[in-house]
Amino acid sequence: MSLMSEVGQKAFNLGVPLTVHLDVTYRCNERCVHCYLDHDDHGEMTTAEIKDVLDQLAEAGVFFLTFSGGEVFMRRDFFEIVEHARRLMFNVKIKTNAVMIHEEEARRIRELAVDTIQISVYSHRPEVHDAITKLPHSFERTIKAIRFLREQGLRVTIANVLMTVNSSDHMGVQKLAAELGVHYTLDPTITPMMDGDTSVLSLRIPGEELPEIFHNPALVGSQEEFCAPPKPASAEDLEGYSCSAGHSFCYISPYGDVFPCVQFPLPTGNIRQQKFLDIWNLSPQMKEVRSIQAKDLTVCSSCSHVASCSRCPGLAYVEGNMRGPSTADCEKSFYRTGVPTENMLRQGLSKPRAISGNTAPLIQIRPIQIQPITVPA
């Protein structure tokens, strides 16, 4: 086990929020076709409020802090926020489309010792990238920014979201990343919109095309290992948890709402009404998420994939039950290994049903009204 994994496990066991993802705005200068956000400002936290949140996060033991959005540079105070975060000695990562990063911004990011900048690139073909972002010349501006950042010696990762409209471009983007001297990461996950609109799910790569991705060694590393049939679950596996959501990770929206994860729109409290640590330690919703072990899962506990599936409790929650299956992950497990999931078997399916989305409303976009938690004296 690496030192980093040991520390992660320690934080998990102690219930320390080691990593927090903070969206500082939902506003954006791009209009990506697959984006799940509403880009209006419904009352973002002020500079002072965000600084106070950062103070609280440092006190709570948060070490890894990701700033994202929206587009983070839409906030004029973004550097002031990062500066405050670095003064508090967070390890800072930034997710951005980078179109507002020029030489001066790249230099400032280096001065602030930001760990990594993750930048969305959808294609190596400018016309495809620009058609997805709906911002003319965005490809050109993003690539130029990556060069500025690299000139400063900064670590950059290109995040390549794969969907129907760019499904054949991942090799080209990988090659581009290599030319630019940056890391590459691929993500085939498309999330329903926050207002419950699931039309964006039509952009998801059809399941039938997933085997091509999952069996590509350039993308998944050891194909033998990645696509191996599932091993029988051990007693230890059944005592295990899905992921770090709510255990050592959480998400905070620009309005101060706290969730177990970016993909887990279960409201647990609002930082404008309560202290972060009170939400983290005392919220009944957080406690419920934390309590769920593999053996408690309604369908998945008896699934042959239970020990190796990437089951996302947030996506399962969006489907209606945080203890239930996440259909998108069932699909991935099946197409990765060729072995049907328990969820499929119970429905008498020989292959996953095409995901057409659902109508579960997501509430993340609006400030949440929930009862404040009573803190024991």
Partner 1 sequence: MPETCIYIARSSAIAARALAGEMMVMNSADSTFFTLNEVATVIFQAADGRTPLREIVRDQICEQFDVDPEQAQADAEQFVAELSGHGILLVSNQPLASETP
* Residue 261 binds partner 1 (CB under 8 A): no
Give 16 or 360: the residue with its C-beta nearer to partner 1.
Answer: 16
Q: Which of residues 266-295 bind partner 1 (CB under 8 A)?
A: none
Please report how many Cα atoms fall inside a 13 Å half-sphere around the Cα of residue 27, on the Cβ side: 14
CB of 181 or CB of 320, closer to partner 1: 181
Burial 92-122 (b: 16+ CB within 10 A, else e): bbbbbbbbebeeebbebbeeeebebbbbbbb
Distance, in Å, from the CA atom of 163 to the CA atom of 161, rounded to the nearest integer, reads 7
Q: Which of 24, 32, 53, 62 binds partner 1 (CB under 8 A)?
A: 62
How many angstroms separate the Cα of 370 from the Cα of each of 44, 138, 226, 261, 269? Answer: 18, 40, 42, 18, 7
In the set 67, 73, 78, 90, which binds partner 1 (CB under 8 A)?
Answer: 90
Number of residues that bind partner 1 (CB under 8 A): 26
**Options 7, 100, 203, 370; binder of partner 1; rule CB under 8 A:** 7
Q: Cα(44)–Cα(52) distance, rounded to whole angstroms?
A: 14
Residues 107-146 that bind partner 1 (CB under 8 A): 111-115
Terminal-residue alpha carbon distance, the chain: 41
Applying CB under 8 A, which part among 3-11, 38-46, 208-216, 327-335 lies near partner 1? 3-11
Using rule CB under 8 A, residue 89 touches partner 1: yes
CB closer to partner 1, 86 vs 290: 86
Binding track, positions 154-193, relative to partner 1; x by CB under 8 A: -x--------------------------------------
Nearest to 128, CA basis, from 74, 170, 73, 165: 165
- What is the nearest approach in angstroms of partner 1 to the Cβ of residue 65? 9
Q: Which of residues 39-58 bind partner 1 (CB under 8 A)?
A: 58
**Distance from C-alpha of 24 to C-alpha of 71, rounded to nearest angstrom:** 8
CB of 116 to partner 1, least distance (A): 8
Is the Cβ of residue 153 or residue 348 nearer to partner 1 in the bound state?
Answer: 153
**Radius of gyration over every alpha carbon of the chain, rounded to an integer in angstroms:** 21
Question: Given candidates 9, 10, 208, 320, which one binds partner 1 under the rule CB under 8 A?
Answer: 10
| 373 near partner 1, rule: CB under 8 A | no
Q: How far apart are CA 56 and CA 276, in angstroms?
A: 7
- The nearest distance, CB 61 to partner 1, in angstroms, is 6
Among 196, 174, 165, 208, residue whose Cα is nearest residue 34? 165
Q: What 3-state class would DSSP assign to 23?
A: strand
What is d(CA 294, CA 306) in angstroms, rounded to the nearest whole number?
A: 7
Residue whose C-alpha is closest to residue 136's, from 11, 5, 30, 255: 30
Task: Pick from 35, 53, 92, 233 the residue near partner 1 by CB under 8 A.
Answer: 92
Q: Measured from the CB atom, is 20 or 135 closer to partner 1?
A: 20
CB atoms within 10 A of CB 130: 20
Catalog residues that contact partner 1 under the rule CB under 8 A.
3-4, 7, 10-11, 14, 16, 18, 58, 61-63, 83, 86-87, 89-92, 111-115, 153, 155
